[in-house]
Amino acid sequence: MTSVSTQTLGAPVSAPPRGLPPLESGDHLGAFEFLRRYEAMPEVQKAELINGIVFMASPVRTDRHAEPDNLVQTWLGTYAIATPGVRAAANGTIRLGPDDVPQPDAFLRILPECGGQAKLDSKGYLIGAPELVVEVAASSASLDVREKLSSYRRAGVRQYIVWRTEDLAVDCWMLVNDEYQPVTPEADQMLRSGLFPGLWLDVRGLLAGDGSRVMDTLRRGLASQEHASFASALHQREAASESGSTGGH
């Protein structure tokens, strides 16, 4: 079937092509049809398919979402820059399965050649579960900690973090035997990712919106021996993958 071409981002669009209904919250769709309609509506900045149901984005408040989101992006982006073989992304559409196409606020993934479980398709969408997903939850708290949690668990997202800005709380889960187990901060109110060594989060600093404190903690994590060992292991996996590919020719 011929794919629907997209228009330049920001170009005015009055309606999708004739015969193609627009996306609306509450629609029950499969992943293929959801993406077909979404691609035909470039003026829509965020839409998600969770358990076969369409959710459209609401207006974003600066204090409860936009600024916290920026801090999360800075935290993950800095980690990815310092960790070859790891990539960070913001608001990327992910093809998790036939009924789930979320667009998380942020995610961190290991490249497939370094042992990661997700890869890009020919259009640039991520197929499969990134290793870590972070959502900033204000008005969307119930979706993020219920329906999305179930969706990410089914798909195999190994670590999931939700920052509930209105509740001044951070929730974290790790996937253990196909179920999410809650992870609580340590005595010093730090979350140290066992999945991404050196990815340290000062929970108190995050909740206070103290970017300097959050980044100082991350820099200490990046300077740790655990991060150095992880980066070395990723490099070895990539080298082994390249060697295997070359040997197969």
Higher pLDDT, 96 or 2: 96
Torsion angles phi and psi, residue 146, rounded to 5: -125, -85
- The string of pLDDT tens digits covering residues 119-153 is 999 999 999 999 999 999 876 567 788 899 999 99
Please report the domains of the chain, with CATH numbers, ordered by start residue: 62-243 (3.90.1570.10)
- The string of pLDDT tens digits covering residues 42-90 is 989 899 999 999 999 888 889 889 999 999 999 999 999 999 999 999 9
Question: The pTM is what?
Answer: 0.87
